[in-house]
Amino acid sequence: MRVFVTAGEASGDKLGAALMDGLRQLVPDVQFRGIGGERMTALGLDSLFPMDEISIMGIGEILKEYRHLKARIRETAEAILTEKPDVVVTIDLPEFSLRVARLVKAKSPEIKIIHYVAPTVWAWRPGRADKMRGLVDKVLALLPFEPDYMQRAGIACDFVGHPVVMDPVASAEEAEAFRAGHGITGEMALLLPGSRRSEISRLLPIFQEVAERLSHERPGLKLVIPAASNVAETVKAQVAAWPRTIPVTVLDPREDTSGCMKRAAFRAADVALAASGTVSLELAAVGTPMVIAYDMSWLSRQIIGRMLLVDTVTLVNLVSETREVPEFIGKNCKPSEIAKAVQQVLDAPGGQRSAMDVTMQRLGRGGEEPGLRSARAVLELIA
């Protein structure tokens, strides 16, 4: 069995690895080709090119890199058409994935295509579901309320759970060891500016201003940045220029021989300031209260702001059907307001606990591994 699978960012690499592992358990001789990161290549993926070349978010950013993206889209589609795999699984990045699917279906409509991660039609641009009809044969959804939206558009969709519910969690002892190893005796906050290059360039300067304010208001607060491996050098270079008055430590995953440093940091933290995205679920999985902040280009702000259908983009808020996690998106992504919210969460973190528990339960905690569930959904289609 030959599977072509594509991912373009850290969260997609994680989903792809879980799916690959599940497929290998059910079909031991499966072969993989496509695009992926460290997790997927470690499981045997032969990657066409580094996945961060297509890891671009925001309308303005995509337009800037359009020529390069278009070439990679064409290259990926040609590889699929040449290899004619049993199934193609495109993970997230609809701007890339659906363009690849369109080229493939135009020439070989018999090739089965699954899109993993339903588009956020419940948040904005609901017409995207209709546009996927005919391009993909099935959608795999991470959130329990998503299949209804896709099925209404005439597209088969399975809720397969979210891999975050299976993530190993650091013990209290490991968290304490992390604090001791970094000389942290008081409050600790995580700064999580994202895993895309475009996110780092836009969010890290904002997070720096927040860090300066927090350091002034709470002198004992220690700041830790667990950098994603693909942007670790960029993060370290930018943070090196921060004022010495900011007590910040950057964790480089490439230097983590045990593989548990990030998990321990997540468990050890009292609060996190994070970019919008899957990381909010990772924090919820370990019970770390959070504040969400995200900004984008002016063009993206104008377009997306007019199309949003929901009053929150934070996954914990959406899945738990609460609004416990404060968020600052677009024009509201102001350092002064973000810093105030972080302090408020530090002073009164209890309100987020139940919302995080409900979120994990609804995402499948305690059930079958999402990787296996997604693998079964793939096999059902090609059977």
Answer whether residue 71 shows pLDDT above 90: yes
Q: Using CB atoms within 10 A of its CB, is residue 106 exposed (0-12), middle (13-18) or buried (19+)?
A: exposed
Tell me the three state secondary structure of residue 239. Answer: helix
- 54-63, 166-175, 219-228, 338-347: lowest mean pLDDT where? 54-63
pLDDT > 70? residue 307 = no
- Kindly report, residue by residue over 311-365, the tens digit of the pLDDT: 898 999 999 999 999 999 999 999 999 999 999 999 998 889 999 999 999 999 9
Residue 372 confidence (pLDDT) above 90: yes
Write down the pLDDT at residue 131. Answer: 87
Q: What is the pLDDT of residues 101-117, one digit of tens each?
A: 999 999 999 999 999 99
**pLDDT for the residue numbered 298:** 64
How high is the pLDDT of residue 195? 87
Interatomic CA distance for residues 208 and 266, integer angstroms: 20
Task: Count Cβ atoms within 10 A of the Cβ of residue 373 and give its class: 0-12 exposed, 13-18 middle, 19 or more buried.
Answer: buried
pLDDT above 80 (res 309): no
Q: Is the dihedral of CA 370, 372, 374, 377 positive or negative?
A: negative
152-164 burial code (b ≥16 CB/10 A, e <16): ebebbbbbbbbbb
pTM value is: 0.79
Q: Whose CA is closest to 44, among 34, 35, 32?
A: 32
Beta strands in the chain (DSSP E): 2-6, 31-35, 46-47, 87-91, 113-116, 138-141, 157-159, 188-192, 222-226, 248-251, 271-275, 290-294, 327-329
Structural domains in the chain, CATH included, are 2-162+365-382 (3.40.50.2000), 172-362 (3.40.50.2000)
3-state SS record for 14-49: HHHHHHHHHHHHHCCCCEEEEECCHHHHHCCCEECC
Residue 132 has pLDDT above 70, yes or no: yes
What is the pLDDT, as a whole number, of residue 126?
73
Q: Does 124 have pLDDT greater than 80?
A: no
Q: Judge contact between 223 and 253, C-beta under 8 A.
A: no
